[in-house]
Structure 1
Amino acid sequence: MTVMAERTSQMSVEEFEEIALGAPETVTLEFINGRIEVKQVADGDHNTIVQWLARRCMQSRPDLDLYQGQGLRVGAYRQGRARPDGVLAPEAHFAGHGEWADPAGALLVIEVTSYDSDSDNRDRREKPSAYGEAGIPAYLLIDRESCTVTVHSNADREAGGYRDTHTVKFGEKVIVPDPVGIELDTESLKNYVR
């Protein structure tokens, strides 16, 4: 029988929020699974991908907004803090919310991988678990290293993560299921990788 040690949190959520408030603009801090994560500042290709996705979402679903930089309370008991590259939600949904909003109402979170050493653990493992636990219906991962787009759907709050995962190579079409209900042609993403 394998027994896994329970991870001890580095600090309280309140302590993290105080540190994040004073962080320089050159880094983005997140608090996932009880530890501070540092996201690399986005490069031009990363930002272009997020804008590409924003245009596709607006064309397909003009009733939704793609929020960039909106912090979310995620994970078990909302004790994590994530700042996805994009959050798709109904128009004006986050008006009046603070820096770290409740994820209720978010339909989709988007992450675009960075070329840093922690992207594998952060974007491919920890974020799907935290976003699924938070009950966010879908997670879209645009992976510039593997040149793939992965749609995680059917959130599983109890187990953490998502029940369904579908991955396509750049150049193929992928459907983000309801409640988003859009199809993305990923051909142009080939232009934004190293």
Structure 2
Amino acid sequence: MSIVPSNLQHAPDYAWEVATLFPQQGYWSEEEYLSLTDSTNARVEFVDGRLEFLEMPTEIHEELLELLYEALKAFVTDRQLGKVRFSGIRVRTLPGKTRRPDVVFLSKDNFNLRHNRDWDGIDLAVEIVSDDPKDRKRDYEEKLAEYAAAGIAEYWIVDYQDRVVTVNKLVGDQYAEQCRFTSGDQATSVLLDGFSIDVKELFEAADKLAD
């Protein structure tokens, strides 16, 4: 099935033939999604046969990601608790849904969920929210419900725009907001006892890139 708009199928100077190699939105299989994302650096997620293209990361986003990843990795590695990965590992959350959280943690007790191309689950997800309204809705609403349904024990939402780190803890089959941490607070994990991030220092590091 062609994904080329009918009014543009005969437009000159475009390689529309390439587009005809791919399924229409809503008809992608999981294997087709994996094959596509095996060969591109584009930030793409898979939801019920559709591809969701995420915002390309800004330098502020990458600074926050780097700080969070390095802190979490150091904590987990020192205690030999499991694996930490960042922005790229594909995580199958529910049937027909694959996400690419900014930072993930998987405990060693759940290493059976690891595979080379994607993982079948994680214990903790971190999403860094952009100022794009669609991205904010995805992280605050859609992924909040989806990650809970997938049984992800803890979900951090890092919001540079509002300067808040929200830690959500899984209770039953939905999240309870553990705390909203702001400047002056240490954002702490429920799952990883002893892990914390200084919220003021985190956002001030990103502020230096915004000047």
Aligned equivalent of 1:6: none
**Structure 1: any 5+ residue segments left out of the alignment?**
1-8
Question: Taking structure 1 as reference, are residues 146 and 94 closer, same or farther at Cα in structure 2, changes over 3 Å only?
Answer: farther
Q: CA deviation at 1:93?
A: 3.9
Q: Give the secondary-structure state (helix, strand or coil) at the position aligned to 2:140.
A: helix
**TM-score of the pair, normalised by structure 2:** 0.71
Q: Give the secondary-structure state (helix, strand or coil) at the position aligned to 1:118.
A: helix
Taking CA–CA contacts closer than 8 Å with sequence separation of 6 or more, which of the two structures ends up with the larger relative contact order? 1
The one-letter code matched in structure 1 to 2:101 is P
Aligned equivalent of 1:122: 138
Q: CA deviation at 1:101?
A: 1.3
Equivalent of 1:97, from 106, 111, 115?
Answer: 115
CA contact under 8 A between 2:128 and 2:157: conserved in structure 1? yes
CA separation in 2, counterparts of 1:95 and 1:126? 23
Matched, 1:11 2:41: no
Q: CA deviation at 1:33?
A: 5.8
Q: CA deviation at 1:46?
A: 1.5
Q: Give the secondary-structure state (helix, strand or coil) at the position aligned to 2:130.
A: coil
Q: Deviations over 1:112-157 (max 9, x none)?
A: 1123331111111111111111111001111111111001112543
Q: Give the secondary-structure state (helix, strand or coil) at the position aligned to 1:131.
A: helix
**Structure 2: any 5+ residue segments left out of the alignment?**
1-24
CA contact under 8 A between 2:130 and 2:136: conserved in structure 1? no
Equivalenced residue count is 176
The one-letter code matched in structure 2 to 1:11 is Y
Q: CA deviation at 1:94?
A: 7.9
Question: Taking structure 1 as reference, are residues 99 and 114 closer, same or farther at Cα in structure 2, changes over 3 Å only?
Answer: farther
When Rg is computed on C-alpha atoms for both structures, the one with the higher figure is: 2
Q: Deviations over 1:60-105 (max 9, x none)?
A: 3322432011111113xx32110001111236948961322100xx
Matched, 1:52 2:52: no
RMSD: 2.7
Determine what percentage of the aligned residue pairs are the same residue.
22
Higher helix share: 2
